[in-house]
């Protein structure tokens, strides 16, 4: 399927007919799949036939729901993954065991809230996988099975989307969320991960899918224990290194086949220590991509549409503003969604295509869905309706 991320020297409103819609990767998983994921996390044996059939059923169902919701650009909902980042421990060598780590800096100021919110039967966000040997990619079989499962679900559901995508963790979200007990040099660790993840990126690209790189650390580095007290210049410097590693990993993938998602973390927390978007955009713009997803419905950051006027997107890029909140069970009103889209459209150049999206995924960590599954789908239906309203206003 052809990617919609395109370059065009004319006005978006002259050449496009409407605002397209997508989502940001993870979607609600059914209870029977969560149960199997919990067993796998606990090291219990799971019948492989049962696992494969449950994943296949869940993937097919999530593709059908995206069709029913009216989304233009769809994926497999990350059904088989325990999380958007820690799924890689099953695809990379050199990872063994877990160790408790501090949660992000803003949550450390509210420990009682953090304790009750971020630990579930399926996953405990304070326990990080440990790297105890050299990182190499060993997940070809699992990645190919996930890709084949998605393509089969598209065929079974007779689904026709304008584009399809699959998510993959950025090198630096892997290094940020795995404890390093092996590498003496952080850059060596980072670029080894980049070399490994490049193999996954190329598998996805070769299948004809758009790749979504999940890279929240490009905006959340200042929340980590290592950089919580660091000055902005130091945070920007390490973020620059992270972008360089990503670009190396994407060396063999066409930029028009890559979209990138970054955010301030898909959790309901205080977020009062978040970095400002305007400070980080110039660094993010150095990534070899053509689609960019950034939160705009998050109450802490709704004002930051102005950053796109201060720092215009590079030529040929598509902006995917988050215009639906993923942290509350309030269904965003379609008119509110349209308002968010309209103010972003007013801030960017007329030649910048816009694709409407939620702020983040609805199931980035299995078992920690902050939005009820059926309400999540209602929010996506509201997204489609809001994009239609914004289209009528802008075109």
Output the DSSP codes for 40-104. HHTT----HHHHHHHHHHHHHHHHHHHHHHT-SEE--TTTT-SBTTGGGGGTBSSEEEEEE----
Beta strand extents in the chain (DSSP E only): 20-21, 73-74, 95-100, 127-131, 163-169, 179-180, 210-214, 258-261, 291-295, 318-324, 355-358
- pTM, to two decimals: 0.93
Alpha-helix residue ranges (DSSP H) falling in 277-333: 277-284, 306-310
pLDDT score for 115: 67
Question: What pLDDT was estimated at residue 110?
Answer: 82
Q: Is the pLDDT confidence value at 146 over 90?
A: yes
Question: Using CA atoms, how far apart are residues 302 and 295, in angstroms rounded to an integer?
Answer: 8
From 97-111, 153-167, 268-282, 358-372, the region with the lowest mean pLDDT:
97-111
Contact between 143 and 304 (Cβ < 8 Å): no
Tell me which residue of 205, 165, 184 sits closest to 63, measured CA to CA: 165
- Tell me the CATH architecture of domain 12-394: Alpha-Beta Barrel (3.20)
What pLDDT is attached to residue 13?
Answer: 42
Tell me the two tokens of residue 345.
């459209």
pLDDT of residue 117: 62
For the cut 50, the answer to whether the pLDDT of residue 56 exceeds it is yes
Give the model confidence (pLDDT) of 74-130 as tens digits.
999 999 999 999 899 999 999 999 998 877 777 777 877 766 666 555 567 778 899
Q: What are the distances in angstroms from CA 361 to CA 27, 282, 338?
A: 6, 24, 20
At 238-284, the pLDDT tens digits run 999 999 999 999 999 999 999 999 998 877 777 787 899 999 999 99
Question: What end-to-end distance do the CA atoms of the chain give, in Å?
Answer: 25
Work out whether the CA dihedral 296, 300, 303, 307 comes out positive or negative: negative
User: What is the pLDDT averaged over residues 202-214?
Assistant: 98
pLDDT, position 8: 34
Burial class from Cβ neighbours inside 10 Å (0-12, 13-18, 19+) for residue 23 reads buried
Please state, as a whole number, how many other Cβ atoms lie within 10 Å of the Cβ of residue 317. 24
Domain ranges of the chain: 12-394
pLDDT of residue 118: 60
- pLDDT for position 15: 46
Residue range 303-355, pLDDT digits in tens: 999 999 999 999 999 999 999 999 999 999 999 999 999 999 999 999 899 99
Two structure tokens written together for 311? 């720092």
**Digit-coded pLDDT (tens) for 1-49:** 445 443 333 333 444 689 999 999 999 999 999 999 988 887 888 899 9
Average of per-residue pLDDT values in the chain: 91
**What does the pLDDT read at residue 49?**
95
């Amino acid at each position: 399927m052809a990617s919609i991320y395109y370059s065009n020297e004319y006005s978006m409103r002259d050449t496009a007919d409407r605002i397209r819609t997508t989502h940001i990767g993870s979607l609600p998983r059914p209870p029977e799949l969560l149960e199997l994921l919990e067993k796998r996390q606990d090291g219990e044996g799971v019948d492989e036939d049962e696992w494969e059939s449950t994943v296949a059923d869940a993937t097919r169902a999530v593709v059908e729901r995206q069709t029913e919701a009216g989304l233009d650009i769809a994926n497999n909902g990350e059904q088989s993954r325990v999380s958007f980042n820690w799924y890689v421990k099953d695809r990379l060598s050199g990872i063994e065991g877990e160790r408790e780590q501090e949660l992000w800096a803003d949550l450390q100021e509210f420990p009682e809230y953090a304790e009750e919110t971020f630990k579930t039967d399926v996953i405990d966000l304070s326990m990080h996988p440990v790297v105890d040997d050299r990182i190499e990619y060993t997940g070809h079989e699992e990645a190919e099975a996930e890709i084949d499962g998605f393509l089969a679900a598209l065929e079974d559901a007779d689904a026709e989307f304008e584009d399809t995508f699959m998510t993959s963790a950025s090198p630096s979200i892997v290094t940020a969320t795995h404890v390093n007990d092996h590498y003496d040099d952080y850059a060596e660790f980072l670029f080894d991960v980049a070399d490994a993840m490049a193999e996954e990126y190329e598998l996805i690209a070769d299948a004809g899918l758009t790749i979504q790189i999940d890279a929240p650390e490009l905006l959340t580095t200042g929340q980590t224990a290592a950089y919580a007290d660091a000055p902005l210049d130091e945070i920007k410097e390490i973020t620059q290194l992270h972008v360089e590693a990503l670009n190396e990993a994407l060396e063999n993938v066409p930029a028009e086949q890559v979209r990138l998602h970054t955010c301030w973390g898909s959790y309901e927390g205080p977020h009062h220590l978040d970095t400002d978007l305007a400070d980080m955009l110039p660094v993010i713009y150095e990534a070899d991509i053509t689609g960019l997803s950034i939160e705009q419905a998050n109450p802490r950051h709704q004002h930051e549409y102005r950053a796109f006027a201060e720092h215009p997107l590079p030529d040929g890029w598509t902006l995917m503003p988050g215009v639906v909140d993923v942290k509350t069970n309030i269904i965003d009103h379609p008119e509110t969604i349209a308002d968010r889209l309209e103010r972003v459209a007013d801030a960017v150049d007329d030649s910048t295509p816009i694709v409407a999206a939620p702020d983040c995924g609805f199931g980035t960590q299995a078992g920690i869905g902050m939005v009820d599954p059926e309400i999540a789908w209602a929010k996506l239906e509201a997204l489609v309706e809001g994009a239609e309203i914004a289209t009528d206003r802008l075109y």
